[in-house]
Amino acid sequence: MAEKCEEVESREWYLASYAPEGVPTSDNLKLRTVRLSLASDSIPDGHLAVELLYVSVDPYLRSRMSGRLDGLDSDQYPLNQVITAFGIGKVIRSKDSEFEEGDVVLHPYFPVAEYCVMTSHMLKKIDPKAGISLPDFLSCLGVPGFAAWVGIEVLGDPKPGSNVFISAASGGVGMFAGQLAKLRGCRVIGSTGSDDKVKLMKDEFGYDDGFNYHKETDYDAALSRYFPNGIDLYLDNVGGKMLEAVLNHVNKYARIPLCGMVSQYNKVWTEREGVRNLLNMVGKEVRMEGFMLLSHLHRFGEFAAAMGGYMKQGKVKSKNKINLGIESFLESLASVFSSSNHGKLVIQVKPYV
Ligand SMILES: NC(=O)c1ccc[n+]([C@@H]2O[C@H](COP(=O)([O-])OP(=O)(O)OC[C@H]3O[C@@H](n4cnc5c(N)ncnc54)[C@H](OP(=O)(O)O)[C@@H]3O)[C@@H](O)[C@H]2O)c1
């Protein structure tokens, strides 16, 4: 047990080389084992030793591995250093009076590792007995839930009866965005990458309807069928051809919060798909707006209270895909760029006991 040891071995992922294009591979991301001292005198004041429990796997991590600024304004991971991600851990040694051994803590930049020693700055305690599962703190109450809330509640702000379209609808952001739009009384349609996931988003997340974009490859025709009265709000998670097709169906004053463009992340910008019909935005007076969660952090408390309430009342459901073991990180990251996941992807590094 790590709690009793003065030293542990910890596996950690580091970036050996940047991946300017394509899905990062084992040439770029490597796993190594390091030894960490847990002896009290080796942990500086204000620091903690933490055993990682869960790591959140999000598409934006890829943009930190390209070796260049690529539109998401993300800092690049330094080469040969352990990479970081949103995560949850358990305190196993503490040199900060605000934290004690056994506390469960959340951090936006945990090392993607089994153990770490880190400053307590930005660590937030969470209550594992709050009636919310630990992975849900990374999904419903984490990055995807907050992104869905900002996209729908803050920037989209749809009226009851609005026609709402959401891409990557069965992923982390999409599953919550659809449910939030339904709570607003909207008609909600989604696109996703398999028939099973179309069924999932209708049966579990309350979407009115949706389509498999791998099968219905004429997006313009699909949107004509699903939106005979046009689109009032499009939460864009994928960009590219889908965004272009949407612009042919927008209603007057439609809103398009740009959450992300996962279909474009593995391409250098000169190879990315352009959008040819931006002119439709002029005539229809459309508001298209990119957003980053960091700019909305002052509203996180409001979001967490609302979303936590919906969860407890059963008004919002979450589905998490849990991969096991820190060694699954590379495969997990690659899977974000396929249609193989449903819901929010989280790695369980260690079970919480
Ligand atoms: N702005 C922000 O602050 C913020 C915060 C969080 C997330 N985001 C963005 O929101 C989007 C969704 O994130 P998420 O957390 O929901 O991700 P996620 O749960 O990991 O889902 C990603 C999904 O995107 C779909 N996808 C992958 N490659 C695609 C392609 N080439 N074309 C179309 N769909 C593709 C896949 O589902 P299917 O193919 O089966 O549909 C995949 O499961 C991403 O663009 C992400 O960067 C932005």
Specify the domain boundaries for CATH 3.40.50.720 within the chain.
Answer: 145-295
CATH for the stretch 2-139+318-348: 3.90.180.10
Q: Is the CB of 293 under 6 A from ligand 1?
A: yes
Tally Cβ neighbours within 10 Å of residue 296: 17
Q: For a ligand 1 pocket test, name from 237, 263, 294, 303 the mutation site with the most ligand atoms within 8 angstroms of its C-beta.
A: 237
Distance from first CA to last CA of the chain, Å, rounded?
Answer: 12
| pLDDT tens, residue by residue, 244-292 | 999 999 999 999 999 999 999 999 999 999 999 999 999 999 999 999 9
User: What are the CA-CA distances from residue 233 to residues 113, 264, 298 (Å)?
Assistant: 39, 21, 24
145-295, what's its fold? Rossmann fold (3.40.50)
Work out the pLDDT band at 331, boundaries 50, 70, 90.
very high
- Is residue 235 within 8 Å of 152, Cβ to Cβ? yes
Q: Is the CB of 52 under 6 A from ligand 1?
A: no
Counting every residue written for the chain, the total comes to 353
Specify the domain boundaries for CATH 3.90.180.10 within the chain.
Answer: 2-139+318-348
| pLDDT tens, residue by residue, 280-327 | 999 999 999 999 999 999 999 999 999 999 999 999 999 999 999 999
The separation between CA 82 and the C-alpha centre of its own chain, rounded to angstroms, equals 20
